[in-house]
Each structure stands twice: as C-alpha cells, then as structure tokens.
Structure 1
Amino acid sequence: MPVFAGNDDDDLERFFELYKGYIHSIGIDSSAVAGNSAGWEKAMGILRVCLTGPAARWYDSNILGKRVRLKNILLRLAHGDEGAFKALAGNNAANCPVNT
C-alpha cells in the first residue's frame, strides 16, 4: 500500500495513482464505489490506513465520519487542489486557498 504524509515533498498525484492501482489490484473499482456502499467503505478504510502524520490528522478532522465519496476526493486532485490538500494536511491555513 502506498503511504502519504502530506509533507511539501510528497507527491499527492503519484500517491493517488498508486492508491487507485492498489485498490484496483484487490478488486475494488474506484469508478463504481459511489453506488456500492461496501466497496466505498473498504476503499475509504484503505485510504485512511495509507495516510500518516499531517495527512492522517487532516483526514480524521475533515473526512472521517462524513459521507464523502472517494470520487469527490479524486476529482479535487484532478482539478488542481494538491496545494490546498497539502496546506490543510499540514495545518497551514495561511497558504490554503479560500473555499477549499
């Protein structure tokens, strides 16, 4: 499983590519998790296990216990919010864009 801490030198896009490859390799289709609650729960559980340090703390504060869809997280990355994610994960609100 890939690991992501949310540090400045961590590559979020590479992490998500490795993560998607990992969940695909164990039989979870990331494009179908929204309609499959068991697949969604498993994919989100695996995502949390992959996170450490600031990224894990950010996930626990902002995602855990909320019904956020994996697809929405992956779409944020596709729309260039890597800096915002890292800023949030590092608790660096001054560098975080508004409304992210």
Structure 2
Amino acid sequence: MDVRLAYSSDEMADDLAQAYQEYLARFAAELGDADFGSFVTHNGRLIQKMRYEEFEPIYTEYREMAQRYRDSLARGDTINDIVVRLMRDRASHLVLPLPA
C-alpha cells in the first residue's frame, strides 16, 4: 500500500512539518547546536544538518522504506544486507534508530 494514499496533501504537509521539527529537536539533543549545512558525526557516519528542503525527500523516502522493511519482516522475507545498510544510512541522516 502506498503510504501517501492514506493522507490528504494538507495532512502530509502537516506531518512533514512536524517530522522536521522533531528532527531538529533530536539533532539538537543528540548532536548539539550546529549550523545548517555543517557536518557532524552520528553513529559513525558523517551527516549534515538539513534544511527543510533537504529533509523532505529523505524523510519521505525513509518513511516509505521503513514501511516496506516492516512489511518484509512481518512476512518473514530475507532482508538483503544492502537494504539494511541503506536503512541505517537514512536513519542516521535523520537521527533516528533503525526501524524494528
């Protein structure tokens, strides 16, 4: 199921705005105050503090991948190491844990 179909465009915009605020709060709490565009190390990866325009496509992709990841685990599918690495990379950039 396409996650976007469950939301109206206004709800998606509100959801993204709230997710961005949560990202900024996580970033500040875990990585301290940094300027937009500056690089910091998180989970052994070099990540950049994102502006909303940079955050939106990465978060949207991550949310869709996380849903597919959970669906695959629920079905008992074998998860490729590349998929896990990609999820870890996106989660790290968003200062999120790997979905369970």
TM normalised by structure 1 equals: 0.30
> Which gives a bigger RCO, structure 1 or 2 (Cα 8 Å, sep 6+)?
1
Structure richer in strand, relative to its length: 2
- State the structure with more CA Rg: 2
TM normalised by structure 2 equals: 0.30
